[in-house]
Structure formats: C-alpha cells, structure tokens
Structure 1
Amino acid sequence: MEKNFLQEFIHQVAKENEATIAQEKRRKHFQELGRKGGLKTKENKKLDKVISIRMTNSEYYVLVQKQEKYPLKLSAYIRNVLFEKELKINEFQTDEILLQYGTHFKKITNLLRNREWNVFENKKEILLRIENLIELIHQYLYSKIKKNE
C-alpha cells in the first residue's frame, strides 16, 4: 500500500511539474512575442549586399543618360538591366489612357441613350460598337494583369 501511495504521489507531482513547466513556456513565448512587437512578419528581400565598380566618366554618363529615360534610381536601373527584367514604366501610362478612353466611351453611350439623341438612325449600331470597344479594352487590361501575376 505504501508503494502504491508513493507511486501515485510521484505521478501527481510529475503532472504538476509538467503543468508548471508548460505554463512557464507559454508565458515566455508570449513575452518573446511582446518583445518582438507581435507576430513574426514575412521576411522581405532585403538589399543588404553592396557591390562597387569602377568605370570611366564616359561610361558613367552613358549609363546616367540611359537611366534618365525611366523614373528609377540608378541602382534600381542597373539591377533591372543586370537581371534582364523588363522596364515597364511607360506601360502604366498607356493603361491609364485606355481606362480614360473606356470611361469616355461609357459617357458617350449614356448620352446616346438619352431621348435627345433619337435623331441618329443607326443609334443602336453605334451603341453596340462602343460597347464592344469597351469590352475589348477591359479584356486587354485584365489579360495584362493576369500575365503579371
């Protein structure tokens, strides 16, 4: 009986000890999170390596002239050229222009649907063509977005 009581006592003490250790681990875990300022963030691709090169003045000015065509810093331009990434800076300007055209065409269709414009005989045909054009613009822009993803 003494052995049974002793085994139960040891078993109970071991459980209590495990519970306190687990509680301390939990507390330390949340303390560590608090020190870090919350949950872990995703690691970004940090530009932490520096490479310096030497070039002549003429090479530097040629590089600067090529870089001035794009609204990028010189280091970003060199990185894009080095890794053969496409420089799609002016692409967004064409997209904005296409979006503006789409909104203007929608305004035109709304005007044509008004009663004042019943003078045109081929009003329905004009509306269909404008709607097809708007649809083509949207398909083009969405296909570019899907390609970039």
Structure 2
Amino acid sequence: MEKDFLQEFVQQAAKENTEKIAREKRKKYFQELGRKGGLKTEQNKKLDKVISIRMTHSEYETLIQKQEKYPLKLSTYIRNVLFEKELKINEFQTDEILLQYGTHFKKITNLLRNREWNVFENKKEILLRIENLIGLIHQYLYSKIQKNE
C-alpha cells in the first residue's frame, strides 16, 4: 500500500511538473511573439530628421499666433504649411456632429420600435425616413474616408 501511494505521488508530481513546463513554454512562446509582432509602421512616416531655424522675435510671435488657431503642435503646423497640406481641423468637428446625429437617430428609432409608441399612425414611415437618413450620413462619412485614402 505504501508503494502504491509513493508511485501515485511520484506520478502526480511528474504530471504537475510537465504541466508547469508546458505553461512556461506557452508563456515564453507568446512573449517571443509579442517581441516580434505588433502593428507594422510605415517606413516613411518616421520623423527622424531634425531641422533648426533661426527667426526674429516678431516672426516667431506671428507664427505662434497663426498656429494657435489650430489644435496642432507647432512642428506639425509648420510641416503642414511647408508641404502645403490643407489644414482641415474644423472638418473633423462636423464629422463628429454628424456621427452624434446618427447615434441620436438610432436611439429615436429604437424608442419608436417599443410598444409604448403605437399611438403614431405613420410610425413605419417615420422609421423608414430615419433609417434612410442614417444611411445617408454613413454613406457621406465613408465616401469622405475613401476620398482621403
């Protein structure tokens, strides 16, 4: 009986040891994958060159005043102006507003689908118009995204 207990104990210890080794191998495997993986960055997007320029105090103040109109860092603003990129900052605010309208219209649609709102005679027509409007908003935003790409 003592031999059975001893053999069983040794087998269980060996089994636990192999499971522990397997867990550690799995953990190391995923750690190694983490080192290799991740999102690939575009090579030309790295900002690794530094240029310093000298300017007068008045030129610097003018530059700062122009830059403060946009929520950009000074270096980003200068880079956009230098490469004649359009500064479309307010455009994103209108997109946010449109997205908020879309969410509100979806909430209204969900409310109208409840049983409590059966008092409207033309509920189906209202739902159809709201869904069409949501579709138009999404179509406009996706076409803008595709145009920018």
Q: TM-score range by the shorter chain?
A: 0.5 to 0.7
Where in structure 1 are there 5+ consecutive unaligned residues? 1-36
Distance 1:114 1:67 in 2: 50
Correspondences of 1:128-139 after superposition (within 5 Å)? 128-139=128-139
TM-score with structure 1 setting the length: 0.64
Report deviation, 1:113: 1.8
Report deviation, 1:44: 4.1
Q: How many residues align?
A: 113
Report deviation, 1:53: 2.7
Letter in 1 for 2:46: K
Q: State the match for 1:54 in structure 2.
A: 54
SS in structure 1 of the partner of residue 70 of structure 2:
coil
Report deviation, 1:47: 3.1
Distance 1:93 1:111 in 2: 27
Distance 1:144 1:133 in 2: 17
Which aligned segments of 4 or more residues in structure 1 are displaced greater than 6 angstroms? none
Letter in 2 for 1:143: S
Correspondences of 1:28-43 after superposition (within 5 Å)? 43=43
Kindly provide the CA deviation profile for residues 30-77 of structure 1, in whole angstroms up to 9, marking residues without a partner as x: xxxxxxx869x8634433433333322222111101111222221111
Kindly provide the CA deviation profile for residues 82-113 of structure 1, in whole angstroms up to 9, marking residues without a partner as x: 11112233333322221121111111111112
CA separation of 1:38 and 1:137: change in aligned 2, threshold 3 A: closer
Q: Find the structure with the greater CA-based Rg.
A: 1
Q: State the match for 2:126 in structure 1.
A: 126
CA separation of 1:42 and 1:114: change in aligned 2, threshold 3 A: closer
CA separation of 1:45 and 1:131: change in aligned 2, threshold 3 A: closer
Letter in 1 for 2:84: E
CA RMSD of aligned residues (A): 2.5
Distance 2:79 2:64 in 1: 14
SS in structure 2 of the partner of residue 90 of structure 1:
helix
SS in structure 1 of the partner of residue 89 of structure 2:
coil
